[in-house]
A = this chain, B = another copy of it.
Amino acid sequence: MDITVAVDAMGGDHGTHVTVPAVLRFLEQYPHVNVVLVGLPDAIDAELRAHKAQLGPRLRVHAASEVVMMDESPQSAMKNKKDSSMRVAINLVKSGEAHACVSAGNTGALMATARFVLKTIDGIERPAIAKMMPSLKGSETCVLDLGANVDCTPLQLVQFAVMGSSLVAAVKGKEAPAIGLLNIGSEDIKGTDTIKQTADLLRASRMNFVGNVEGNDLYSGVVDVIVTDGFTGNVALKTSEGIAKMMERFLREEFTRNIFTKALAMAAWPVLSRFKKRVDPRRFNGASLVGLKGIVVKSHGGADRMAFYWALKQAADEAGAGVTQRIAEQVQQQLADLAVPPAAAADQ
């Protein structure tokens, strides 16, 4: 099946200067994917001309007259920017003209607009932000929620488990992915009441729930999916970015300390660059807004061309794997299976 991805060409810190070249490279690598660039036609045309690129059946432009600012409130974006590149890209998913959309625009506006336009899948109360993280073992772990929902009920966390495991099952072709619940100890008695109730519900489900995991398990590869509320997940993600940046800085400082260490750095360049590539966050760019009736991928706002390329790949992979349909099916199966009326579960 040919896949069409709608791209918010204006989103992110660098707009078309990043999105257009990333799309051009992506189209070369993925011959079964088509792209619709959404945004201000003049800006898009200028960037296409700069790269001597031609429009055609695989690359089209869809005009949108407005741009959501990076610091604009979701309310303002929703109310005042009905013809924004972000919103029109999502509209193309809603109308079926695209199978997925990608935006590097601001997260709050993207989530609010996507939720308003696409609506949530039946049985899902709140969409979540999910992201693949690298692990010690070389495998990847899908972590959600990463910031859409600061307070979550046990049933909402169980819904996140369904969404995360469906995403991994579809994209990675892994049946019954192992699910962990992020806690501050592996014992059942640890954690908040919400966490304990969530663990009870997950144990009662037919999903492959392996129990509590701890912060270090975001990178241990011990499970395929880690479920947490958006507050904890967001702090964990940004803490990771903080310490990774510090470690890279320290490594660079030691290798640039004097002329001898600089010579060593040059000699060790192939080794250091392989290391850098393995921990390069750009390869993991592209967070999925899951639980919506359509595929929406959020790129980091500061993404460069390579990073945006990976977000495009994430969107195309999800569309190819039919993630939305998979989640919808699993929600019906798994949540019916719990045999707990949602309200009772939430109030337990």
Q: Nearest 4 pairs between A and B by C-beta?
A: A215-B238, A216-B242, A215-B239, A219-B242
Q: How many angstroms between the C-alpha atoms of A247 and B250 in the bound complex?
A: 13
- Contact at A271–B275, with CB atoms within 8 Å? no
Pick the most buried of A217, A218, A220: most chain B CB atoms within 10 A of its CB.
A218
Among B136, B219, B243, B268, the residue within 8 A (CB) of A219 is B243
Among B214, B238, B250, the residue within 8 A (CB) of A238 is B214
Q: Knowing that A182-B235, A218-B239 touch, tell me 4 more A-B residue pairs with CB under 8 angstroms.
A: A239-B239, A243-B244, A246-B279, A254-B274
Q: Is A85 an interface residue (CB 8 A)?
A: no
- Contact at B215–A237, with CB atoms within 8 Å? yes
Q: How many angstroms between the C-alpha atoms of A345 and B182 in the bound complex?
A: 30
- Contact at B246–A134, with CB atoms within 8 Å? yes
Q: How many angstroms between the C-alpha atoms of A254 and B271 in the bound complex?
A: 6
The complex is assembled from copies of this chain, and their number is: 2
A: contact size bracket: 35 or more
Q: Is A135 an interface residue (CB 8 A)?
A: yes
Among B215, B216, B219, B257, the residue within 8 A (CB) of A271 is B257
Interface residues of A in 114-154 (CB under 8 A from B): 134-136, 147, 150-151
CB of A324, distance to nearest CB on chain B (Å): 26
Q: Is A176 an interface residue (CB 8 A)?
A: no
Interface residues of A in 182-240 (CB under 8 A from B): 182, 184, 191-192, 214-220, 228, 230-232, 234-240
CB of A69, distance to nearest CB on chain B (Å): 14
CB of A92, distance to nearest CB on chain B (Å): 29
Q: How many angstroms between the C-alpha atoms of A232 and B195 in the bound complex?
A: 13
- Contact at B235–A215, with CB atoms within 8 Å? yes
Q: How many angstroms between the C-alpha atoms of A278 and B257 in the bound complex?
A: 14
Chain B residues with CB under 8 Å of A261's CB are: 268, 271
Q: How many angstroms between the C-alpha atoms of A190 and B160 in the bound complex?
A: 21
